[in-house]
């Protein structure tokens, strides 16, 4: 079965750039979506189809997908960006979304 | 504005059943595929079930297949999750979510409810 691998944690200072990776076999062949999950809140879609931002998501959020790794990049990180981030692809074998294990972004 | 509001959670003993509801508003309910996703304490997001816009197709995670049933009533704009033979490991926050686009499901979950807590404990 397909597996998405994310680092458990990423730390970054305010104003710097955070990169959160999502590894999967030939993930470049899949569309990757990213969600932000703050404690006590519902998940929020922050990036879809590798690079597209939903309405209302700042341009500071961007993405890429190449080879075996998709990346969510958050530029000029703010304290409010501190959250868990999940990558997700469509699992065609199960006809369900498949989530990565999540990455906790800590703003130092 | 899209609204999804889960209800029906609570504390239940192992082996018992529970039904979650997710009434929706702000969009043409019958045009969108819908999902149930959960997050166990300290764990990540887990996709549980998907139902097509017209209710003709369902999909389930291995962890709940045969125990959980997703359904919808397009006349009441409501999504359901019938959970039976509940286990301690089913303890989680349960979210309903709507696909971004109408019609076929592509797995882009644009709108989410606030979640409802299910605790399975003796």
Q: Do A42 and B115 touch (CB under 8 A)?
A: yes
Q: How far is residue A44's CA from residue A75's CA, in Å, rounded to a whole number? A: 18
pLDDT in tens, A51-69: 999 999 999 999 999 999 9
Angstroms from B61 CA to nearest CA on chain A = 7
pLDDT band at B56 (very low <50, low <70, confident <90, very high): very high
User: Is the pLDDT reported for residue A83 higher than 90?
Assistant: yes
Helices (H) and strands (E) in chain A, counts: 0, 9
Q: Do B47 and A99 touch (CB under 8 A)?
A: yes
Q: Do B47 and A45 touch (CB under 8 A)?
A: no
User: Is the pLDDT reported for residue B52 higher than 90?
Assistant: yes
pLDDT in tens, B62-79: 999 999 999 999 999 999
Mean pLDDT of B33-43: 98
pLDDT band at B46 (very low <50, low <70, confident <90, very high): very high
Residue B118 CB: number of other CB atoms within 10 A? 23
Q: How far is residue A16's CA from residue A14's CA, in Å, rounded to a whole number? A: 6
Residue B23 touches chain A, beta carbons under 8 Å: no
Residue B2 touches chain A, beta carbons under 8 Å: no
Q: Do A99 and B115 touch (CB under 8 A)?
A: no
pLDDT band at B47 (very low <50, low <70, confident <90, very high): very high
Point out the residue among A31, A45, A86 whose CB comes nearest to the CB of B45.
Answer: A86
List the single residue in B with minimal CA-CA distance to A97.
Answer: B107
Q: How far is residue A58's CA from residue B111's CA, in Å, rounded to a whole number? A: 18
Residue B59 touches chain A, beta carbons under 8 Å: yes
Angstroms from A97 CA to nearest CA on chain B = 5
In the prediction, which pLDDT does B111 show? Answer: 97
pLDDT band at B105 (very low <50, low <70, confident <90, very high): confident
Candidates B62, B109, B111, partner chain A, best to mutate (most A CBs within 10 A):
B109
Mean pLDDT of A93-99: 96
pLDDT band at B39 (very low <50, low <70, confident <90, very high): very high
List the single residue in B with minimal CA-CA distance to A102.
Answer: B44
Percent of chain B with pLDDT strictly greater than 90: 96
In the prediction, which pLDDT does A80 show? Answer: 96
Mean pLDDT of B32-46: 98
Residues contacting residue B11 through CB under 8 Å, at least 6 positions apart: B119, B120, B121
Query: Torsion over CA of B45, B97, A32 and A90, rounded to 10 degrees?
Result: 90
pLDDT in tens, B7-33: 999 999 999 999 999 999 999 999 999
In the prediction, which pLDDT does A2 show? Answer: 95
């Amino acid at each position: 079965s397909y597996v998405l691998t994310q680092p458990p944690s990423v730390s970054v200072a305010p104003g710097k750039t955070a990169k959160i990776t999502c590894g999967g076999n030939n993930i470049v062949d899949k569309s990757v979506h990213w969600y932000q999950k703050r404690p006590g809140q519902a998940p929020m879609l922050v990036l879809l189809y590798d690079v597209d931002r939903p309405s209302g998501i700042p341009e500071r959020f961007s993405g890429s997908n190449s080879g075996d790794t998709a990346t969510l990049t958050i530029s000029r990180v703010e304290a409010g960006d501190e959250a868990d981030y999940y990558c997700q692809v469509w699992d065609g074998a199960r006809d369900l979304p498949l989530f990565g294990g999540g990455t906790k972004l800590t703003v130092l | 504005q899209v609204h999804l509001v889960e209800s029906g959670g609570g504390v239940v003993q192992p082996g018992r059943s529970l039904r979650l509801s997710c009434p929706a508003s702000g969009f043409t309910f019958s045009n969108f595929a819908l999902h149930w996703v959960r997050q166990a304490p300290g764990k990540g997001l887990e996709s549980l079930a998907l139902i097509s816009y017209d209710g003709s197709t369902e999909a389930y995670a291995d962890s709940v297949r045969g125990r959980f049933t997703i359904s919808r009533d397009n006349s009441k704009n409501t999504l359901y999750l019938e959970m039976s033979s509940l286990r301690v490991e089913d303890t989680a926050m349960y979210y309903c979510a709507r696909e971004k686009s109408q019609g076929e499901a592509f797995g882009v979950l644009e709108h989410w409810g606030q979640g409802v807590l299910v605790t399975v404990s003796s």
